Chain A
Amino acid sequence: MAKISFILNGHKQTIDTNPNRRLLDVVRQDFKLTGPKEGCGEGECGACAVLLNGKIVNSCSVPLANVDGQDIMTIEGFSKTKQYHVIKDAFAEAGGVQCGYCTPGMMIATESLLRTNPHPDDEAIKIGLSGNLCRCTGYHLIIKAIHLAAEKGEGLW
């Protein structure tokens, strides 16, 4: 057991737990934040993506010890931001949402990408999404959505 402190969706949290637990399990079980999903459990599909200090990570592959003193944002926190609203409207308009299981991860991936590259081209978007698997859409309309978000959210990133 160890005391681990971190910022979760803007609030400081300290928990006393096994530091080897996966960040995904801690946010889902201890904080009841079920937006991040488990798809593969080995860092391959991106359904569990969260922002760690503003950058995308797969929370199933992060031991809790690694987030001590760090800033974590899940989809629940991100969905309160202006950026989220631009991205989700773009996904709706483009048709980038089907079964929805990968979608919270796609929101996080888009945010992480636009933070570093507010005007990505197709290639940059594909690289930005390459860690997030979607089996429904063939990615085409998700890529379109991200272009749309970049355009509509001009100045936000």
Chain B
Amino acid sequence: MKDISQSIIKVDNDEKTSGLAQYVADIEMDGMLFAMTKRSSIAHGEIIDIQYPQIPEGYYIVDYKDIPGKNIVKVIYEDWPVFTEKKVTYIGEPIMLVIGPDKQVIVDILNHIHIEYQVIEPVFDWTDSVIDYHYDKGQAKKMFQQADSIIHKEYQTGYQEQAYIEPQGYIGYPEGDKTTLVGSIQCPYYVKNAVLQVLGEKEENVRIIQATVGGAFGGKEEYPSLIGCQLAVAVKKIQKPIQLIFEREEDMTVTTKRHPSKTSFEAAIINNQLVALKAKVGIDAGATIGLSGVVLSRALLAVSGAYTINHLDVSGHVYRTNTVPNGAFRGFGAPQMFFAIEMFIEHVAKSLNEDPLTFKKSLLAKQGDFTSTNGIFRDPILMPEMIKKAMEVSDFQAKHQAYESSKAYKGIGMSLFFHGCGFTGSGEKDVIKAKVRLKKDHDKQVQILVAAVDMGQGVKTTFRKLVAHILDIPIDYVIFNNPDTDFVPDSGPTVASRTMMIVGGLLARAAESMKKKWHKNSSFTVEKEYEQPDYIKYDEKLFKGDAYPAYSWGVNVVEVEVNPYTYEVNVLKSWAVYDVGKAIDERVVLGQADGGLAQGLSYGYLEVMNHQSGRILQKNMTDYIIPTAMDMGEMNTYIYENPYAFGPYGAKGVGELTLIGGAPAVAKAIENAIGTNVYKIPVTPEYIMELIKNGKN
């Protein structure tokens, strides 16, 4: 039998290249109405009065008064109203939908709805701390008392917008007593559970179907629950098909983004060694908390980076501000923390006059070491050989030295990083409880029934390939349709680099059971439920134990040139080495590697987003710069096999890992080029100018 990693042609190529794939905007229904949103124009205040124009026949207003159930979107922390009732807490907060057959008329109605507010002083500073976490490892306090010296530095990261090319959207329609939504979503059951709570409906009366998804990157994890709830309320009231699709400006200014962060580190130094680390991490939640606590957790768990530091004192805070809510984005807190810790370790080494690479290698995490939360890195860690590979192919050492002493404005940087695969802690066991189903019919066809969404990462191909490979049948006999909650069990959301490792792992077990019972002419179903490996024990409150069952690892090297006059950064080349356990399809992994690194690099130097008094300033693809083909340097990826016992064929997480190392690698390359330390991303030309003008630091 072939090695499963050998690439096959993706199953959905033809429908996508030919333009036949149906995205939500391509679905048209008879008598379909359109919905647009009236939003808050101020950052903080109370609605005193709303004046409506004459509403023509066939047009509708839908607001909080139409909600039959609870006016809260079900996400991890439930503080997000579906439609605000009185209080507005950010610019763009949804107040009502205006619905009707003609978009022009809707716009006209929206323009004539006048809302009077009592303004409350908005909060933009990070002062309102709503979640506070703290944990210790070892004896940090004692080490800081004994320290020869203490090194203190601070790091900052900015917003990042997912900028999927397909904006958010749904079409909703009634089916008898049922309310059905078809949408561009990552998590069909998140939407279903949210809608059930808002409609106060029975299970069978809400149906969620995934349309082809035009990119997501976390941006379609929890946000679609909000607009799905709004549309469900509208469909329930009006009983007609309704399309709700965002335009780019709306999408960019009101949907969730990557949390901006500030990290303050102190290192206790004894005998020129880093023995203890104190970290204080803050992230900006925006106006609602939502997933912010979990994002913060993931950041805190990565506090010591790819290194083992035995004494830690870690605290973190989620701050609420009157700005657009932030949420899930590929990496989920890890990109912020890996930027900070990767820069800090390098800066500490420089302060101590140690060679950064030797310094880092001496701290590198090894199999059997304790993780930041006193869990154990149980599996082999291949980082030493991965680093060696990355250095060889990039000629790192020679270039780094040459650029350091030259005025060529060229630089090379390297980042070391990992990603914890699957939900943090006991999330899989206690919250998600994933269930998968395989169904064989009389014609030898096998249907995959899971809620996992192909949003471009290729899971339609890799799941079919996985099941076909185990059953030893042609891939054409394996069917995997877009999830529809009327037919698929809840295998959990398509997030957290869990899809192949967790859901794929369950499918592999189901396929193995099916193979044992296989009989040509019989039809039967196999179901599997998640069972946590029993060694995984984690205390969420104390931050103690194994936070993840497995870790994927990576090394990125990036070479840049900085224009000596404009300070613009040009990425020349990149080299990436990843341990993802086992690639279920090599070409799919290579595609994730390129795309993730591109997003990570541009997070580090290109993608600028900010707000002014709560108003997002970048409103479209012209203002918010994501890389074009012109921005890309040569990319080289190397995949290492290191099978994980509970992953299918040893597979671990891939999708998020590939984004995490880009920003620190590019920031370090820029440091190498300009000869001064970098403390924040994105490293814009303005920031480089400031660093150069202020001289060496």
The residues of A with any CB-CB pair to B shorter than 8 Å are 32-42, 44-45, 47, 74-76, 79, 84, 87-88, 91-93, 95, 97-104, 107, 125-127, 129-143
A78 to chain B, nearest CB (A): 9
Known: A40-B248, A93-B9, A99-B166. A138 touches B215 (CB 8 A): no
Chain A CB within 8 A of B42 CB: no
Evaluate contact between A88 and B14: CB separation under 8 angstroms. Answer: yes
B163 to chain A, nearest CB (A): 6
Evaluate contact between B248 and A41: CB separation under 8 angstroms. Answer: yes
Evaluate contact between B25 and A136: CB separation under 8 angstroms. Answer: no
Contact partners of A79 in chain B: CB under 8 A: 17-19
Summed over the interface, the residue pairs from A and B with CB atoms below 8 Å come to a total of: 173
Known: A79-B19, A130-B629. A135 touches B12 (CB 8 A): no
Size category of the B interface is 35 or more
Contact partners of A39 in chain B: CB under 8 A: 165-167, 214, 248, 621
Of the listed stretches B363-371, B450-458, B478-486, B685-693, chain A binds: B450-458
Bitwise, B14-39 to A at CB < 8 A (1) or not (0) is: 11111111110110100000000000
The residues of B with any CB-CB pair to A shorter than 8 Å are 7, 9-10, 12-23, 25-26, 28, 162-167, 212-217, 247-248, 455-458, 587-588, 590-591, 594-599, 620-622, 626-630, 632, 635
Q: How far is the CA of A97 from the CA of B13 in the complex (A)?
A: 6
Q: Can you name the residue of chain B whose Cβ is closest to the Cβ of A44?
A: B621
Q: Is chain B's binding surface mostly helix, strand, loop or mixed? A: loop
Evaluate contact between A135 and B17: CB separation under 8 angstroms. Answer: no
Q: How far is the CA of A136 from the CA of B587 in the complex (A)?
A: 14
Q: Can you name the residue of chain B whose Cβ is closest to the Cβ of A29?
A: B28
Evaluate contact between A141 and B629: CB separation under 8 angstroms. Answer: no
Evaluate contact between A136 and B18: CB separation under 8 angstroms. Answer: no
Contact partners of B620 in chain A: CB under 8 A: 40, 42, 44
Contact partners of A101 in chain B: CB under 8 A: 23, 164-166, 214-215
Of B18, B21, B212, B217, which is in contact with the most chain A CB atoms at under 10 Å from its CB?
Answer: B18
Q: How far is the CA of A120 from the CA of B628 in the complex (A)?
A: 18
Question: Which of A84, A100, A133, A136 is the one whose CB lies under 8 Å from B21?
Answer: A100
Evaluate contact between A99 and B215: CB separation under 8 angstroms. Answer: yes
B105 to chain A, nearest CB (A): 15
Question: Which of A37, A42, A87, A143 is the one whose CB lies under 8 Å from B214?
Answer: A37
Evaluate contact between A45 and B594: CB separation under 8 angstroms. Answer: no
A72 to chain B, nearest CB (A): 14
Evaluate contact between A133 and B13: CB separation under 8 angstroms. Answer: no
B78 to chain A, nearest CB (A): 30
Evaluate contact between B591 and A100: CB separation under 8 angstroms. Answer: no
Contact partners of B216 in chain A: CB under 8 A: 99
Evaluate contact between A104 and B632: CB separation under 8 angstroms. Answer: no
A60 to chain B, nearest CB (A): 10
Contact partners of B166 in chain A: CB under 8 A: 37, 39, 47, 99, 101
Q: Can you name the residue of chain B whose Cβ is closest to the Cβ of A142?
A: B629
Evaluate contact between A130 and B455: CB separation under 8 angstroms. Answer: no
Contact partners of A38 in chain B: CB under 8 A: 25, 167
| A-B contacts, 5 listed (Cβ < 8 Å) | A75-B19, A99-B166, A100-B456, A104-B19, A125-B629
Of A45, A91, A99, A139, which is in contact with the most chain B CB atoms at under 10 Å from its CB?
Answer: A99
Known: A40-B621, A42-B621, A99-B215. 11 other contacts (CB 8 A): A47-B165, A88-B14, A97-B16, A99-B165, A99-B216, A101-B166, A126-B628, A134-B165, A135-B164, A135-B217, A140-B632
Contact partners of B21 in chain A: CB under 8 A: 100
Contact partners of A102 in chain B: CB under 8 A: 165
Question: Which 4 A/B pairs are nearest by Cβ-Cβ distance?
Answer: A35-B19, A99-B456, A101-B214, A100-B16
